[in-house]
Amino acid sequence: MSEREAVESLRTLGLSNYEAQVFVALQQLGSGTAQEVNDVSGVPRSQVYGAADDLAARGLVEVVETSPKAYRPVALSTARELLTERLESEADRAFDRLESIRTDEADLGDGAGVATLRGRQPIDDRITTLVESATHTVVFVSPAAAAMTSEIADALRGVSEVADVTVVTADRSLTETFAEDPVTVFVMSEDNPADFAGRALMIDDRTVLLAAETEDAPVDEEALWTGDTSIGRILAAFMRSGMESGRDRHRE
Protein backbone atom coordinates (compact mmCIF):
# COMPACT_ATOMS: atom_id res chain seq x y z
CA MET A 1 0.00 0.00 0.00
CA SER A 2 1.36 3.44 -0.91
CA GLU A 3 1.64 6.36 1.53
CA ARG A 4 -1.24 8.07 -0.25
CA GLU A 5 -3.45 4.99 0.08
CA ALA A 6 -2.55 4.72 3.76
CA VAL A 7 -3.55 8.35 4.29
CA GLU A 8 -6.87 7.81 2.48
CA SER A 9 -7.60 4.73 4.57
CA LEU A 10 -6.90 6.63 7.79
CA ARG A 11 -9.20 9.43 6.66
CA THR A 12 -11.91 6.81 6.18
CA LEU A 13 -11.36 5.84 9.82
CA GLY A 14 -12.05 9.39 10.95
CA LEU A 15 -8.70 11.21 10.87
CA SER A 16 -8.39 14.58 9.19
CA ASN A 17 -6.11 14.89 6.17
CA TYR A 18 -3.29 16.47 8.18
CA GLU A 19 -3.71 14.02 11.06
CA ALA A 20 -3.46 11.09 8.65
CA GLN A 21 -0.38 12.52 6.92
CA VAL A 22 1.36 13.20 10.23
CA PHE A 23 0.54 9.72 11.55
CA VAL A 24 1.92 8.08 8.40
CA ALA A 25 5.06 10.23 8.58
CA LEU A 26 5.62 9.21 12.20
CA GLN A 27 5.39 5.55 11.18
CA GLN A 28 8.29 6.21 8.82
CA LEU A 29 10.29 8.21 11.34
CA GLY A 30 9.57 6.25 14.50
CA SER A 31 9.80 9.53 16.37
CA GLY A 32 10.13 13.04 15.05
CA THR A 33 9.91 16.76 15.62
CA ALA A 34 7.49 19.00 13.75
CA GLN A 35 10.29 19.94 11.36
CA GLU A 36 11.15 16.29 10.68
CA VAL A 37 7.49 15.45 10.10
CA ASN A 38 7.28 18.42 7.74
CA ASP A 39 10.31 17.18 5.81
CA VAL A 40 8.79 13.71 5.34
CA SER A 41 5.13 14.55 4.81
CA GLY A 42 5.09 18.04 3.33
CA VAL A 43 2.51 19.12 5.91
CA PRO A 44 3.22 22.77 6.81
CA ARG A 45 5.18 22.91 10.06
CA SER A 46 2.58 25.21 11.61
CA GLN A 47 -0.08 22.56 10.90
CA VAL A 48 2.00 19.66 12.20
CA TYR A 49 1.73 20.92 15.80
CA GLY A 50 -2.07 21.03 15.77
CA ALA A 51 -2.44 17.71 13.97
CA ALA A 52 0.04 15.97 16.27
CA ASP A 53 -1.61 17.39 19.39
CA ASP A 54 -5.00 16.19 18.09
CA LEU A 55 -3.52 12.74 17.52
CA ALA A 56 -2.18 12.82 21.06
CA ALA A 57 -5.64 13.70 22.35
CA ARG A 58 -6.98 10.64 20.51
CA GLY A 59 -4.34 8.48 22.21
CA LEU A 60 -2.56 7.77 18.92
CA VAL A 61 0.64 9.71 19.56
CA GLU A 62 2.94 10.22 22.54
CA VAL A 63 4.34 13.70 23.14
CA VAL A 64 8.04 13.62 23.98
CA GLU A 65 8.88 16.66 26.10
CA THR A 66 12.24 17.48 24.59
CA SER A 67 13.51 20.67 23.01
CA PRO A 68 12.25 20.86 20.41
CA LYS A 69 9.13 18.84 21.22
CA ALA A 70 8.93 15.46 19.47
CA TYR A 71 6.16 12.99 18.74
CA ARG A 72 6.11 9.20 18.77
CA PRO A 73 3.26 7.00 17.49
CA VAL A 74 1.71 4.35 19.70
CA ALA A 75 1.87 0.71 18.65
CA LEU A 76 -0.12 -0.06 15.53
CA SER A 77 -2.18 -2.63 17.41
CA THR A 78 -3.18 0.06 19.89
CA ALA A 79 -3.96 2.52 17.11
CA ARG A 80 -6.08 -0.09 15.32
CA GLU A 81 -8.08 -0.77 18.48
CA LEU A 82 -8.61 2.92 19.28
CA LEU A 83 -9.72 3.83 15.76
CA THR A 84 -11.97 0.79 15.48
CA GLU A 85 -13.66 1.54 18.80
CA ARG A 86 -14.17 5.17 17.82
CA LEU A 87 -15.57 4.21 14.43
CA GLU A 88 -17.97 1.71 15.98
CA SER A 89 -19.04 4.24 18.58
CA GLU A 90 -19.73 6.88 15.94
CA ALA A 91 -21.63 4.34 13.84
CA ASP A 92 -23.77 3.33 16.83
CA ARG A 93 -24.49 6.97 17.64
CA ALA A 94 -25.38 7.80 14.05
CA PHE A 95 -27.72 4.85 13.60
CA ASP A 96 -29.36 5.38 16.98
CA ARG A 97 -30.22 8.89 15.85
CA LEU A 98 -31.46 7.66 12.48
CA GLU A 99 -33.58 5.00 14.17
CA SER A 100 -35.26 7.67 16.29
CA ILE A 101 -36.39 9.63 13.22
CA ARG A 102 -37.02 6.81 10.76
CA THR A 103 -40.62 5.95 9.92
CA ASP A 104 -41.87 2.42 9.43
CA GLU A 105 -42.76 3.28 5.84
CA ALA A 106 -39.09 3.88 5.09
CA ASP A 107 -38.34 0.17 5.46
CA LEU A 108 -40.53 -0.72 2.53
CA GLY A 109 -41.00 2.43 0.50
CA ASP A 110 -44.11 3.24 -1.47
CA GLY A 111 -42.90 1.31 -4.53
CA ALA A 112 -43.60 4.24 -6.82
CA GLY A 113 -41.60 4.07 -10.03
CA VAL A 114 -38.60 1.78 -10.42
CA ALA A 115 -35.91 1.70 -7.73
CA THR A 116 -32.41 0.29 -8.19
CA LEU A 117 -30.09 -1.37 -5.67
CA ARG A 118 -26.42 -2.29 -5.81
CA GLY A 119 -24.70 -4.88 -3.63
CA ARG A 120 -25.70 -8.30 -2.39
CA GLN A 121 -26.54 -7.33 1.19
CA PRO A 122 -28.92 -4.45 0.34
CA ILE A 123 -30.65 -6.67 -2.22
CA ASP A 124 -30.96 -9.55 0.28
CA ASP A 125 -32.49 -7.13 2.78
CA ARG A 126 -34.95 -5.73 0.24
CA ILE A 127 -36.03 -9.24 -0.82
CA THR A 128 -36.63 -10.18 2.82
CA THR A 129 -38.66 -7.03 3.47
CA LEU A 130 -40.77 -7.48 0.35
CA VAL A 131 -41.46 -11.14 1.16
CA GLU A 132 -42.64 -10.17 4.64
CA SER A 133 -45.12 -7.70 3.08
CA ALA A 134 -46.89 -10.36 1.00
CA THR A 135 -50.58 -11.05 1.57
CA HIS A 136 -51.45 -13.81 -0.89
CA THR A 137 -48.69 -14.75 -3.39
CA VAL A 138 -44.92 -15.06 -3.36
CA VAL A 139 -42.75 -16.42 -6.16
CA PHE A 140 -39.00 -16.38 -5.56
CA VAL A 141 -36.59 -17.45 -8.29
CA SER A 142 -33.44 -18.76 -6.60
CA PRO A 143 -31.17 -20.27 -9.26
CA ALA A 144 -29.03 -22.04 -6.65
CA ALA A 145 -29.10 -22.67 -2.92
CA ALA A 146 -26.42 -19.99 -2.46
CA ALA A 147 -28.92 -17.38 -3.66
CA MET A 148 -31.19 -18.22 -0.74
CA THR A 149 -30.01 -16.66 2.53
CA SER A 150 -31.25 -17.95 5.86
CA GLU A 151 -33.12 -14.65 6.38
CA ILE A 152 -34.93 -14.99 3.05
CA ALA A 153 -35.75 -18.63 3.80
CA ASP A 154 -37.16 -17.69 7.21
CA ALA A 155 -39.23 -14.90 5.64
CA LEU A 156 -40.65 -17.35 3.08
CA ARG A 157 -41.54 -19.81 5.84
CA GLY A 158 -43.15 -17.10 7.92
CA VAL A 159 -45.31 -15.67 5.15
CA SER A 160 -46.35 -19.15 3.94
CA GLU A 161 -48.92 -19.12 6.75
CA VAL A 162 -50.92 -16.44 4.90
CA ALA A 163 -49.69 -16.63 1.31
CA ASP A 164 -49.08 -19.16 -1.45
CA VAL A 165 -45.27 -19.40 -1.61
CA THR A 166 -43.37 -20.91 -4.54
CA VAL A 167 -39.61 -21.21 -4.95
CA VAL A 168 -38.38 -21.73 -8.51
CA THR A 169 -34.87 -23.14 -8.77
CA ALA A 170 -32.41 -25.33 -10.61
CA ASP A 171 -31.03 -26.65 -7.33
CA ARG A 172 -32.79 -29.75 -5.99
CA SER A 173 -31.27 -29.28 -2.55
CA LEU A 174 -33.82 -26.52 -1.90
CA THR A 175 -36.55 -29.16 -1.81
CA GLU A 176 -34.91 -30.43 1.38
CA THR A 177 -34.61 -26.90 2.77
CA PHE A 178 -38.39 -26.51 2.70
CA ALA A 179 -39.32 -30.18 3.11
CA GLU A 180 -41.28 -29.50 6.31
CA ASP A 181 -42.77 -26.16 5.26
CA PRO A 182 -45.87 -25.24 3.22
CA VAL A 183 -43.58 -23.89 0.48
CA THR A 184 -43.77 -25.28 -3.05
CA VAL A 185 -40.33 -25.86 -4.55
CA PHE A 186 -40.36 -26.22 -8.32
CA VAL A 187 -37.13 -27.45 -9.91
CA MET A 188 -36.98 -26.14 -13.45
CA SER A 189 -35.54 -28.11 -16.33
CA GLU A 190 -31.75 -27.77 -16.60
CA ASP A 191 -31.97 -27.32 -20.37
CA ASN A 192 -33.44 -23.83 -20.00
CA PRO A 193 -30.65 -21.68 -18.46
CA ALA A 194 -32.29 -18.43 -19.62
CA ASP A 195 -34.77 -18.88 -16.81
CA PHE A 196 -31.91 -18.49 -14.34
CA ALA A 197 -30.24 -15.29 -15.52
CA GLY A 198 -30.50 -14.06 -11.93
CA ARG A 199 -32.72 -13.89 -8.89
CA ALA A 200 -36.29 -12.66 -9.17
CA LEU A 201 -39.16 -12.06 -6.80
CA MET A 202 -42.86 -11.49 -7.36
CA ILE A 203 -45.18 -10.40 -4.57
CA ASP A 204 -48.99 -10.45 -4.86
CA ASP A 205 -48.85 -10.28 -8.68
CA ARG A 206 -47.89 -6.61 -8.62
CA THR A 207 -44.49 -6.12 -6.97
CA VAL A 208 -41.42 -7.43 -8.79
CA LEU A 209 -37.69 -7.44 -8.06
CA LEU A 210 -35.14 -8.56 -10.65
CA ALA A 211 -31.46 -9.05 -9.77
CA ALA A 212 -28.42 -10.06 -11.80
CA GLU A 213 -24.77 -10.58 -10.95
CA THR A 214 -22.27 -8.01 -12.19
CA GLU A 215 -18.56 -8.10 -12.87
CA ASP A 216 -18.11 -4.44 -11.88
CA ALA A 217 -16.16 -4.82 -8.63
CA PRO A 218 -16.76 -4.21 -5.79
CA VAL A 219 -20.48 -4.47 -6.62
CA ASP A 220 -21.40 -8.16 -7.00
CA GLU A 221 -25.10 -7.82 -7.82
CA GLU A 222 -27.51 -5.18 -9.11
CA ALA A 223 -31.29 -5.15 -8.90
CA LEU A 224 -34.35 -3.15 -9.75
CA TRP A 225 -37.73 -3.37 -8.12
CA THR A 226 -41.10 -1.74 -8.47
CA GLY A 227 -44.19 -1.94 -6.33
CA ASP A 228 -47.90 -1.67 -7.06
CA THR A 229 -47.44 0.07 -10.41
CA SER A 230 -48.36 -0.68 -13.99
CA ILE A 231 -44.74 -1.69 -14.61
CA GLY A 232 -44.87 -4.04 -11.64
CA ARG A 233 -48.06 -5.67 -12.85
CA ILE A 234 -46.66 -6.11 -16.38
CA LEU A 235 -43.44 -7.67 -15.10
CA ALA A 236 -45.47 -9.93 -12.81
CA ALA A 237 -47.51 -11.10 -15.78
CA PHE A 238 -44.33 -11.94 -17.68
CA MET A 239 -42.98 -13.86 -14.68
CA ARG A 240 -46.22 -15.80 -14.41
CA SER A 241 -46.10 -16.61 -18.11
CA GLY A 242 -42.48 -17.68 -17.97
CA MET A 243 -43.06 -19.89 -14.95
CA GLU A 244 -46.06 -21.59 -16.54
CA SER A 245 -44.11 -22.10 -19.77
CA GLY A 246 -41.28 -23.69 -17.81
CA ARG A 247 -43.69 -26.00 -16.06
CA ASP A 248 -45.19 -27.04 -19.38
CA ARG A 249 -41.76 -27.84 -20.84
CA HIS A 250 -40.90 -29.76 -17.68
CA ARG A 251 -43.99 -31.97 -18.08
CA GLU A 252 -43.15 -32.81 -21.72
92 in a structural domain: no
Same domain, 22 and 123: no
One domain, residues 118 and 215: yes
Please report whether residue 93 resides in a domain: no
Rounded CA separation 227/233 (Å):
8
Report whether 204 contacts 86 (CB < 8 A).
Answer: no
Instruction: Tell me what percent of the residues of the chain surpass a pLDDT of 90.
Output: 43
> Rounded to 10 degrees, what is the CA torsion of 169, 164, 105, 155?
-60
Tell me, yes or no, whether 141 lies in a domain.
Answer: yes
Q: Which domain holds residue 69?
A: 3-84
Q: Total domain count for the chain?
A: 2
* pLDDT per position as a tens digit, 186-206: 887 655 544 567 899 999 988
Share the mean pLDDT of the chain. 84
Q: Are residues 49 and 118 in the same domain?
A: no
Q: What's the rounded Cα separation, in Å, for the pair 53 and 65?
A: 12
The per-residue pLDDT for 129 is 92
Contact 211, 222 (CB under 8 A): yes
- Asked whether residue 240 falls in the same domain as residue 202, the answer is yes
Residue 90 lies in a domain: no
What CATH number does residue 30 fall under?
Answer: 1.10.10.10
Q: Look at residue 71 and tell me if it is in a domain.
A: yes
At 188 the pLDDT is 77
Output the DSSP codes for the chain: --HHHHHHHHHHTT--HHHHHHHHHHHHHSSEEHHHHHHHH---HHHHHHHHHHHHHTTSEEEE-SSS-EEEEPPHHHHHHHHHHHHHHHHHHHHHHHHHH--THHHH----SEEEEESHHHHHHHHHHHHHT-SSEEEEE-SSGGGS-HHHHHHHHHHTTTSEEEEEES-THHHHHTTTTTEEEEE--TT-GGGGSSEEEEETTTEEEEEEE--STT--EEEEEE-SSHHHHHHHHHHHHHHHHHHHHHH-
With cut-offs at 50, 70 and 90, classify the pLDDT of residue 128. Answer: very high
CATH number at 137 reads 3.30.870.10
In a domain, 126, yes or no: yes
Q: Does residue 99 lie in a domain region?
A: no
For residues 199 and 117, membership in a common domain is answered with: yes
110 and 207 housed in the same domain: yes
Output the pLDDT for position 98: 76
Residues 125 and 72 in one domain: no
Cα 106 to Cα 76, 111, 113: the distances in Å are 41, 11, 15
Residue-level pLDDT at 249: 52
- Give yes or no: residues 143 and 18 share one domain: no
Instruction: Find all residues with CB under 8 Å of 203, minimum gap 6, and list them.
Output: 130, 131, 133, 134, 137, 138
- The answer on 80 and 123 residing in a single domain is no
Q: Clarify whether residues 153 and 64 are in a common domain.
A: no
Span 48-99, pLDDT tens digits: 999 999 999 989 999 988 888 899 999 999 999 998 888 888 888 888 887 7
Q: What is the pLDDT of residues 18-37, one digit of tens each?
A: 999 999 999 999 999 999 99
Higher pLDDT, 107 or 241: 241
Judged against a pLDDT cut of 60, whether residue 250 lies above it is answered with no
d(CA 230, CA 27): 60
Q: Which residues have CB under 8 Å from 20's CB, separation 6+?
A: 6, 7, 8, 10, 11
Residue 100 lies in a domain: no
